[in-house]
Structure formats: C-alpha cells, structure tokens
Homo-oligomer: A and B are copies of this chain.
Amino acid sequence: MNGAESLVKTLVASGVEVCFTNPGTSEMHFVAALDKVDGMRAILGLFEGVVTGAADGYGRMAEKPAATLLHTGPGLANGLANLHNARRASTPIVNIVGDHATYHAQYDAPLESDIKGFADPVSGWIHSSTNAKTVASDGARAVAASMEGEGQIATLILPADTAWLEADQAAAPLDSVGLSAVNGEAIDRVAKLLANGKKTAILIRGTALKEEGLREAGRIAAKSGARLMCDTFTPRIQRGAGRVLVDRLPYFAEQAEDDLKGTEQLILVGAKPPVSFFAYPDKASWLSPKDCDITYLAHPHEDGTAALAALAEAIGAPAEPINVAPYEKPDMPTGPLDQFTIGQVIGHLLPDNAIITDEAATSSLGPAIATATAAPHDHLSLTGGAIGMGLPVATGAAVAAPDRKVVCLHGDGGAMYTVQSLWTQARENLDVTTVIFANHSYAILNVELARVGAIDPGPKALSSLDLHNPEINWTQLGQSMGVNAMRAETTEEFAKCFAACMNEKGPHLIEAII
C-alpha cells in the first residue's frame, strides 16, 4: 500500500466518511486510493469554496469532520473564505492539501507557494507530512485535532511523494479531547448570581443551542426569569415548534446595544461578549452596558449543555422549561412578494426536521419571524461574514442528512460567490431547495453606506452596489448546471413553486423577484 492508501484507510478508520474534492495532479494518488479503500464517499466540487463550504455544512450537521481534498496552495486559497466561516463556526474539518513532492520544492516550480502561510489564519492544527510511512499517523492526528474542544480545522499537507511511496499500514484512530467537563466552581458562582435579583441575560452558543441544551436553558429561565439569547449568527440552532425560544441579538450595533440596555449581568455559555459586527463612526463596538457584569458559565471548549443542566439542578429549576415555541404555522400569505410573504410561505410549508441555511442577508428577517413557530428545524447561519457560504453549506448539510429537506435562503449578490455549488447539488441529486432573493443589489451595502457616514454617494458608489446591469437570470443559471430552476414574481407563484419543491426530492432553485 502507498502513502495515500494508508491515509485514506486511516481516515475511514477514524470515522471520516466523506471527502469533498477538487483535485489536481499532486492529488492523483489520493484520488486513486479512494477506490482502493472502502468507505469513503468522494464528492466533486467545481471550485474549492464549494468544497470547503460543503465540509462546513457537513461538519455542522454530522458533528464530525469531512475531509477536503485541495490542490496545493492556490487550491487551498480558493477555499479559505469558507474555512474562515467554518473556523468561526468551530466546525471540525480535515483538509488534505496536496503539495509538490518533497524534493521538488527546491525548484520553485510555478505552483510552489507558502501553503502553511495560506493555512495558518484558519487552521487550529497544521502539519506537512515528510514521509510516506508517517502519513497514516499524521492523518489520525489530524482527525483527532479536528475534534478537539468544540471542533476546529486541521490541515494536513501531503507532498506527492509521501502519497505515492510505499507505506506500511494504516494508523489506529486516536481519542480526541472533545468538549471539557463542566466547571463546578462556575456552576456554583452562576447559581448564586441568578439569585441576586439582577436583570440577567444568558447568551448561548455552540451545541447548547440544540434541543437538549435549550430545554435546560428554558428550565433555568422558568426558575430565575433570566432572558435567553443567542448571537446574531450561530453555527447551528434548533428552532421551531417544541423548541425553547431564544432572542437573537440584532445585527446593527445600535439596535443590539439598545436590546441589551438594562442588562445587569450577562452569563455566557459557549459565547463571547457581544460586539458589533463592524465598527462605525460614533457607534459602540462593545454592546453590553458598561456596568454589566459578565460571567462565563461555560467557555466555548466546555460542555455548555451539561453546564446548563447542572445549573438547572443547582438552582432547583422545574422539570419543564418555559418559552417553548408552540406549533403555529403562519397562514398562507397574499399580497406582494417580499421577504415577509416568502417567509410565511416557507413557514407554512416547511416539513418536519428540515435544515435551513441562511445567507439571505437583508431578506433573512421575514423567514426568521415566520419559522419561529413552524415545524421544528435546524438553522445554520453565516458565522464568519465571508459571503458565499449558503449554497455550499446547504450542499454539505444535505450530504450529512440525506433524509432531511434542506432549504437554502440566499441573497443574489452572495450566491454568486460559490454558485458552482448548484452543479454538485445536481450531480449528487441532493435534496436542496434554494430560494434566491433577487433584489439585484448588494442591498446590505446600500444600508451600510449611509450608516458609516458616507453621505451623498455618487454614481460610481451607487453603481458598485447595484446588480441590475445586467440582471442575472437565475432560472437560466440554475438550469445551466442541471438544477430544476423556476422563477416567481408573485406570492402565489412563489407558493406554488415552493410547494412543488417540498413535495419532490432533489435540487431545486426558485428565483424570487423582490
């Protein structure tokens, strides 16, 4: 067996079942090894941002890493923006980045580049293999590293000769550290704080935003009256009927500051203190009130769900949580097609246990309101602000959860960054329905232009934010890549299209003209 086969065997033995690939010459032995070893599904993306974004979506849902296969420094570079998002989502990912043969690096051939340099800003673990006989053990270490704490990105650089030379054997899986146990002192301290009568908010992030953690938080709220909150952008939150409702922090700094006004103590569970997404002249970056006490119940690498459960017990919380969302589907709407009517249609028709990926930007409020009491679902958002995650994350989520409907809500501007995702959805016949909010604009930037104080914008500035010239035909674009794409200009048309998509498996796209 060669190094590549020893590595693929090791990855499979370590629980890695899927490899999202965009290979080149240096990765051909790894590609060939995918057939020689059973148990690894290979899914091709036509651009590396698709590959890494899909690995992010997969990891968020599967709670274990997919591998990526990327071609040297530039291939990794094309995937970095979605790796940035994945880093902010604490998603476990194992990147396999092919490199020139070890002895070839000295020649500075055209593709030679500083791969470690590219990888460093997004990776929690980086290693470049030096020998075919150690590649397997490097792979086992990479998988374990990816599962450390809440999850992180492990990048294994694989020089071509370490893939093609003879290896001895696969490596046994390594234990990984995972989330750390509850900190008893923190439980005691926060239990006391909850009894001090101060106005309290609990800000939650990470796996504690799944049903189980939310139930514990709802029990704590029932006993203490604390407000439950989550960040504007969370890697994954379980929402809808039967789930404890939490308040999502508003996006704009001044609204968030206003929302937090009067909060006397803030308890953090896997979250960091709220700060504004961007800085603005004369607006705050730090959003909590100046005199608000901030306490960590659980740091991001600690088990937030267990911490909430322990806290609930410590304060003698009742068995049943409060703020449980009822099952109240919005009525089917009438009126002009906009983010609110679209949201109502989605909320009305969403099947049980769907997954929503959300990069709808200025159009995400409508669907968020309408789905709060819709059928239970998972919601995945843009954690790192790097545009172009919605389509690939939907792609990877659909691979991780083949029996669940995936609904991808996307602004038209953002969807262009990784539009090649549609081809992979078609190729793998993934059950993803993409809704493109076609406002032909970087609408968020029209808002931001004024907010940063750029008064009286001229024609060049306005033109830089306007996508009307030419208007992208999303129906044609989706169809060109094999996706069943359709156009909706009225609420009735959208409702008809979306109902059809919910009733039929496979990739669909609706161009919603708003």
Contacts and interface: CB of A to CB of B under 8 A. Distances in A.
Interface of A: 21, 23-26, 28-29, 31-32, 34-36, 42, 44, 46-47, 49, 72-75, 77-78, 80-81, 84-85, 88, 100-101, 103-104, 107-111, 113-114, 117-118, 120-122, 160-161, 164, 233, 272, 275-279, 281, 285-286, 383-388, 413, 416-417, 419-420, 423, 426-427, 444-445, 448-449, 452-454, 457-461, 463-465, 467, 469-474, 476-477, 479-482
Contacts of A481: 470, 472-473, 477
A81 B84 contact: no
A78 B110 CA distance: 19
Contact of A458 (B23, B32, B278, B471): B32
Contacts of A272: 108
Nearest to A111: B385
Contacts of A35: 457-461
B84 A80 contact: no
Given A384-B110, A477-B480, A81 B81 contact: no
Contact of A78 (B23, B78, B423, B464): B78
B423 A44 contact: no
Contact of A419 (B74, B286, B419, B476): B419
Contacts of A233: 110
Nearest to A46: B416
Contacts of A31: 449, 454, 457, 460-461, 464-465
A80 B119 CA distance: 12
A417 B386 contact: no
Contacts of A279: 100-101, 103-104, 160-161
Contact of A121 (B73, B110, B164): B73
Nearest to A87: B113
Contact of A29 (B77, B452, B467): B452
A460 B467 CA distance: 39
B118 A74 contact: no
Given A34-B461, A42-B464, A25 B427 contact: no
A279 B426 CA distance: 35
A25 B352 CA distance: 37
Contact of A103 (B32, B285, B477): B285
Nearest to A104: B279
Given A104-B278, A275-B107, A473 B464 contact: no
